[in-house]
Structure 1
Amino acid sequence: MIREAHVNGIKLVYREEGDPAAPPLLLIHGRTANHNDWNGITQHFAARHHVVVPDLRGHGASDYPGDYPVPDMAEDIAGLLDHLEVGRAAVIGHSLGGMVAYQLAMNHPARVERLVLEDVAPPLPFKDRPPLVEDDSTGFDWRMMHDTERQFLDPDPGWLEGLASITAPTLVISGGSASPFDAAATAARIPGARLVTIEAGHLVHATERRAFLQAVDDFMNDGLTTT
């Protein structure tokens, strides 16, 4: 079901699936995508979780406020958890969504039960990247593209230090040799993080869905007992 919340000064549209009484799980899409990027993934997790899938600000049907600091995007998600009256949730983020997810885990450690970062670039200066050129693509705010690109190329140094403060059990999934990002460098900065490499390129959950779901299920089930 598609719903909307007014949080952190903006409208955030989100999709819900699964039993609201089940353990909550947030899925946060990457740049230029929206909640539909997780189609097929949501149904898998909804069998055991209350799945919440937002459109980030500047994407899909959520507001386009023109201001896109990644930490503010994480505050949007914290506000969404407040709106849902959810104290703690497992969080899965892809690419930009992973940056938002680790900001949430850094700044609101009590809110993140488990953290999955799918092919997320480490918050280090990025060189040799071609300039961003606008085309006729729609469904997102091009101002968001330019604003997040600046943060991606020259991230706040505090973000790298902040990774070391993450306390949630963390799984980092790398897309392997075809990925443009060194996800292993992200994993190395997070205490106790588990690194899994799936040779799929950047869109792991779409290109190698079965392997992605298996890796996440194994991580989510680790340490749990059944009776």
Structure 2
Amino acid sequence: MPQLAVDGAALAYDDEGPRDGDGVPLVFIHGWTANRHRWDHQMEHFASRRRVIRLDLRGHGESEGSGRRSVDELAVDVLAVLDHLEVNRFIPVGHSMGGMIAQALALSHPERIERMVLVNSISRMTYSRGRGMLMAASTRVPFKLFVATNIQRAFAPGYPREEIREYIRASSATPREVVMTCYAAMRNFDVLDRVGEIRTPTLLVHGYHDIQLPVAQMLRMAKAYPDALVRVVDAGHELPVEKPAELTAALDSFVTSRA
């Protein structure tokens, strides 16, 4: 597992697959409190025929460093890794917070984005007054309870409890400062009024049972995209691990199509 020093952090990443493979590299970006292994199924599928890159965001997984205060700053970290690997054009595949990072990249460096895939992600976090008050109150409960509650509700009903407990344990290992700083960065992220500027073909894949970032908010975002394809899957917010094969198939079809 190589690491790259970026602005006081050591970022862990994987760079696999043939350099002269099919198409530009796929760059997988995980979500809040997760790590690069959320993409194990997709990495295994694509690595035999094209270059695939994934990283642990700072403070997550095997990466060190304190949290970034904005999604734009997290995007700078991703670009630093890609510049180090001499990757110019690429296809970002972002889950949740990772999808926010992908949008930030598409807006700041459109010339480098060939296509984009957003998985269970949105351009603006919107709450009713009641839910907003509930979310604010949740940050005042004990840290492990805060993380456990958010991870528990990320999965669709019926997902195995023992597997959810493993994801809760992994997420709880993320430093509190990183968790809360990135949580604030997501809540402050708002590019809904700018997504019309993103001209690159975009695939939006979302779990129908997602209560973290509801599908209605994704559809509101999709209307603003000039060139978007929408796929709704019978899953919750953790689509990469709830329905990995279905996500991989949708991604494969999208990145290999000529349209």
Q: Under a length normalisation based on structure 2, what TM-score does the superposition of the two structures give?
A: 0.78
Please say which of residues 192-201 and 62-71 is displaced more in the overlay: 62-71
Residue 155 of structure 2: aligned partner: none
- 1:83: Cα distance to partner? 0.5
Q: Name the SS for the 1:172 alignment partner.
A: strand
CA displacement, residues 24-53 of structure 1 (integer Å, 9 cap, x when unaligned): 111111111111121222110112221111
Q: Confirm or deny: 8 A CA contact 1:122 1:185 kept in the other structure.
A: no
What's the counterpart of residue 174 of structure 1? Answer: 206
1:53-64 correspondence to structure 2 within 5 Å: 53-64=54-65
> Pairwise mapping of residues 1-227 of structure 1 onto structure 2 (< 5 A)?
2-22=1-21, 23-127=24-128, 128=131, 129-130=134-135, 131-132=138-139, 133=141, 134-135=143-144, 138-156=172-190, 159-181=191-213, 182-223=217-258
Contact kept, 8 Å, 1:119 with 1:175, in 2: the verdict is yes
Structure 2 unaligned blocks of 5 or more: 145-168
Taking the aligned partners of 1:144 and 1:185, their CA distance within structure 2 comes to: 29
**How far apart in 1 are the matches of 2:83 and 2:252?**
26
**What CA distance in whole angstroms lies between the structure 2 residues aligned with 1:16 and 1:179?**
33
Cα distance in 1 for partners of 2:43, 2:55 equals 12
Shift of 1:125: 3.4
2:119–2:206 Cα contact (<8 Å) kept: yes
Q: Give the Cα–Cα distance (whole angstroms) in 1 for the partners of residues 106 and 82 of structure 2.
A: 13
Question: Aligned partners of 1:73, 1:42: CA distance in 2, in Å?
Answer: 22
Question: Structure 1: where are the runs of 5+ without partners?
Answer: none
Counterparts in 2 of 1:141 and 1:162: CA distance versus 1, 3 Å: farther
CA separation in 2, counterparts of 1:120 and 1:210? Answer: 19
Distance (whole Å) between structure 2 residues aligned to residue 24 and residue 178 of structure 1: 28
TM-score by length of 1: 0.88
Measured in 1, the distance between the counterparts of 2:10 and 2:120 equals: 27
Q: In structure 2, do the counterparts of structure 1 residues 151 and 125 end up closer, same or farther at CA, with 3 Å as the change threshold?
A: farther
Which amino acid in the other structure matches residue 192 of structure 1? Answer: D
CA contact (8 A) 1:126 1:152 kept: no
Task: Name the one with the larger helix percent.
Answer: 2
Equivalent residue letter for 1:93: G
- Distance in 2, matches of 1:108 and 1:12, equals 21
Secondary structure (helix, strand or coil) at the match of 2:14 reads strand
Distance in 2 between residues matched to 1:58 and 1:3, nearest whole Å: 16
C-alpha deviation, 1:73, in angstroms: 0.5
In structure 2, distance between residues paired with 1:139 and 1:16: 24
Partner SS state of residue 164, structure 1: helix
RMSD (CA atoms): 2.0
Greater strand content: 1
Distance change (3 Å), C-alpha of 1:65 and 1:152: closer
1:88-114 deviations in Å (ceiling 9; x for gaps): 111100001111111111111112111
Say which structure, 1 or 2, has more relative contact order (CA 8 Å, 6+ apart): 2
Moved over 4 A (4+): none
Number of equivalent positions: 221
